[in-house]
Amino acid sequence: MEYGFGVDLGGTTVKIAYFDCEGTMLDKWEIPTNTDDGGSRILPDIAESVRNYLACKHIDKEQILGVGIGVPGPVDNEGNVNKCVNLGWGFKNIQQELSELLGLPVKAGNDANVAALGESWKGGGAGCRNMIMATLGTGVGGGIIIDGKPLHGVHGAGGEIGHITVNPYEEERCACGKQGCVEQYCSATGVVRMAKRVLTLSHQDSTLRHIVPLTCKDVFDAAKNGDALAKETLERVYDYMGQFLAGVCCVVDPEVVVLGGGVSRAGQPLLDGVRQYFEKYTFYGSSSVRFVLAELGNDAGAYGAFKLVLDATHPA
Ligand code: ZN
């Protein structure tokens, strides 16, 4: 049996997991991300942690097929990152650097694309070779899997579905600098922003008026309890979600759409709400797509990262 590592590199912690080649996670741990000195310690720290693990467990390096890593920024096909603002990195060939530090094959990808690959392998989209994943968190990230492979695109920005424009009349700015992006409506912060807007435009009472600070979960809870303005907020959010996912489905024609991130904790009501508006906007050819929730949570990145290096070393 062969083994390997999946690494999910984030701005504050690095999650490292050890897998067998069938994709069973055998162990996982975290180390802090040291962003001092332009992030120069990050890859050496990861290499040291992996080496220590192998030494502690008396694992022969011959049994290790490699290390996959997901990073928070665009990554091209050669494993170059051009800029990872969270890490302090400018241009860097992480694949080559980490491989030289470890003496093992390394395969790198964008964290959102890698998480989508993980969900398509062992999570909500297991068994599906064509999948769209939307991660509805603080922002909206995404990943697209086509024929079992993540769509990286030429700059590594493929699958960046959170910045599709859905409202050209928006007046507030998105974090990316544009106006009217999906992220401004469908992220956890977007849901709260929409709720505040609905409350401002109406004179009706709502339990939401008495909650400070208002969270995304409050909006879903209030809607479940029948609060009219919370329900109206979610109708608007679902409308934007249905619209943009129908658009992406026109391009990808997936078997499944996986919804993940903090907003997806709303569960079935979210799936039902999005589905209803999706039907309104979708092209009939992709109307049979299934909507499911992500299943791997914070481990999706590690699973997908390991799958990257598994596919690179054992092409199907
Ligand atoms: Zn944007």
Mean pLDDT of 205-226: 97
Mean pLDDT of 232-239: 98
| SS3 (DSSP) at 194 | helix
Mean pLDDT, the chain, integer? 95
Convert the pLDDT of each residue in 47-105 to its tens digit: 999 999 999 999 999 999 999 999 988 898 889 998 888 898 999 999 999 999 999 99
How far, in Å, from the CA of 164 to the mean position of ligand 1?
7
How far, in Å, from the CA of 161 to the mean position of ligand 1?
9
How far, in Å, from the CA of 62 to the mean position of ligand 1?
45
For residue 316, what pLDDT is reported?
Answer: 66
Mean pLDDT of 38-48: 97
Mean pLDDT of 5-13: 95
How far, in Å, from the CA of 139 to the mean position of ligand 1?
9
For residue 194, what pLDDT is reported?
Answer: 98
pLDDT above 70 coverage of the chain, percent:
100
How far, in Å, from the CA of 176 to the mean position of ligand 1?
4
How far, in Å, from the CA of 178 to the mean position of ligand 1?
5
The first and second tokens of residue 59, run together, are 């694992």
How far, in Å, from the CA of 166 to the mean position of ligand 1?
10
SS3 content of the chain, % helix, strand, coil (to 5): 45, 20, 35
For residue 8, what pLDDT is reported?
Answer: 96
Model confidence, pTM: 0.92
Residues in the chain: 316
With contact defined as beta carbons under 8 Å apart, do 124 and 294 qualify? Answer: yes
The answer to whether residue 315 scores a pLDDT higher than 80 is no
| SS3 (DSSP) at 61 | helix
The answer to whether residue 247 scores a pLDDT higher than 80 is yes
How far, in Å, from the CA of 187 to the mean position of ligand 1?
11
How far, in Å, from the CA of 165 to the mean position of ligand 1?
8
